[in-house]
Amino acid sequence: MFGRGSQLVAKSFSRNVAAASFQRRLASTKSLKETLQEVIPAKQEQLKKLKTEHGQASLGEVTVDNVIGGMRGLKAMLWEASVLDPNEGIRFHGLTIPDCQKQLPAAPGGKEMLPESMLWLLLTGQIPSEAQVRQLSAELAEKGELPAYVEKLIDSLPPTLHPMTQLGMGVAALNHDSSFQAAYEKGIKKTEYWTHTFEDCINLIARLPALSARIYHNIYNAGAPLPGIDKKLDLIGNYANMLGFANEDLTEYLRLYIAIHGDHEGGNASAHTAHLVGSTLSDPYLSYSAALYALAGPLHGLANQEVLRWQMAMQKEIGDEITHEKIKDYLWKTLKSGQVVPGYGHGVLRNPDPRFMALQEFCDARPDLLKSPTIQLVKQTYEVAPGVLKEHGKTKNPYPNVDATSGCVLYHYGLTQFKYYTVIFGVSRALGCLTQLVWARALGLPLERPKSLSMDAIEKLIKA
């Protein structure tokens, strides 16, 4: 039926299709490190071009308000993984949270994107294949066991010591096995810094669930058996299992929370601290332990527990008959007492936090959460609070941030220990802080050293 020419064309087409299919298979099975090795040269060239062609370009002026106001709003830091827009919210390599929810692989049988998927995106700027994510999950599980000396250290600490203090100590102690520190002491080329930083970062992310779960058991569940790492589970599947919560909805919630909370630009206190300490060439363990202690502050990572306390106090006062008018009265009572409304406002955002909206959508899709008085109160507060705060007139952003709901969902699922919530935040924020330490070394970023001024010096400059 076909001539020889047609047969040759058909064979050639088949070979091309097979070759393309083979290339796709190769791309889908490349490891995270192999993918990163391909991405780094282009970024290095981009940075070189920016410095050469635009090194003296102005990104804006510095005002006295910037200097005495905590450097707020200054464009003074390179951070590749995410950019925070005041109106649109966070974007990860240009992708919104809804984009990530649609495109990033979930766990087998799950719907929420895996933190491993977000880790891949933050580090490479690429969407991983499902096979690559499964491979990464397996690698993290393989590296997830804690060294005996860290277990002994954590077990020796008094249960009254704050869980964030314990987490920072455990992370810092892991630097005993730092690949970067060992290589630096032997003497390595600057071009190799990123590879050892990468190894430390992956090892630390892998071990954070076991470390955090051990702290939880020692403080809140002493004597109960602590499950080991299950090599078949993903990072958060193992974390939830080791915490002692078999609820799949809670596991899915933790996957979502940790993925969308993993990075929020570089200027927040914990991310900036990791970057600053890392710029001294401290290894990732020491850099991230410092970041955790920034995260432990009431103006940063403690916010969601403050929201929950406030919500529960309101629930107790207004009773079961919840109305918008009662919520409005309680909001005004809070404001007139000189307090802020926890979970509302943000240092950068000027619209509802997309992370809050994502968690609300999670709640709306689950009947048990819709019936929860705590979750319902969060939703109804959102319907009332912006109007009250606008009328009050002292809040730049009258809309909810992620903390307005994050701790309340944990409480609903039985994780009721407020002080532990920031530890979960610490597991999450490692994704952004640590991936950017890798990029800082790959791009050869220098020691961070801003210029400080005294008030007399500022006045002198103004007069001049």
pLDDT in tens, 213-232: 999 999 999 988 999 999 99
CB-based contacts of 106: which residues, under 8 Å, 6+ apart? 112, 113, 114, 117, 255
| Mean pLDDT value across residues 339-347 | 89
* pTM given for the model: 0.91
In whole angstroms, give the CA distance from residue 163 to residue 156.
13
Considering only CA atoms, which of 87, 88, 106 is closest in space to residue 97? Answer: 88
β-bridge mates for residue 113, sequence order: 106
pLDDT of residue 200: 98
Please give the positions annotated as active site.
Answer: 300, 346, 403
Question: Residue 21: what residue type?
Answer: S
pLDDT of the residue at 27: 57
259-296: per-residue pLDDT in tens? 999 999 999 999 999 999 999 999 999 999 999 999 99
Eight-class DSSP state of 80:
-
Exposed, middle or buried, 281 (CB in 10 Å: 0-12/13-18/19+)? middle
Q: Is the pLDDT of residue 394 over 90?
A: no
Sign, Cα dihedral of 233, 100, 378, 298: positive
Confidence of residue 347 (pLDDT cuts 50, 70, 90): confident
Task: Name the nearest CA neighbour of 204 among 238, 171, 230.
Answer: 171
Q: What superfamily would CATH give domain 303-412? A: Cytochrome P450-Terp, domain 2 (1.10.230.10)
Confidence of residue 97 (pLDDT cuts 50, 70, 90): very high
HSE, side-chain direction, 13 A CA sphere, residue 216? 26
pLDDT at residue 2 in the model: 40
Residues 66, 68, 71, 74, Cα dihedral to 10°:
10
Is the model's pLDDT at 17 over the cut of 70? no
Name the one residue in this structure whose structure tokens are 């809804």.
98
Q: What is the mean pLDDT of the chain?
A: 92
In the chain, where the domains are located: 136-301+418-442, 303-412
Residue 86 Cα to chain centre, angstroms: 18
pLDDT in tens, 116-164: 999 999 999 999 999 999 999 999 999 999 999 999 999 999 999 999 9
Question: Is residue 356 a contact partner of residue 405, using CB atoms and an 8 Å limit?
Answer: yes
CATH topology match: 136-301+418-442 vs 303-412: no
pLDDT band at 349 (very low <50, low <70, confident <90, very high): confident
By C-alpha distance, which of 132, 174, 130 is closest to 153?
Answer: 174
CATH number for domain 136-301+418-442, candidates 3.40.50.1000, 3.40.50.720, 1.20.1260.10, 1.10.580.10: 1.10.580.10
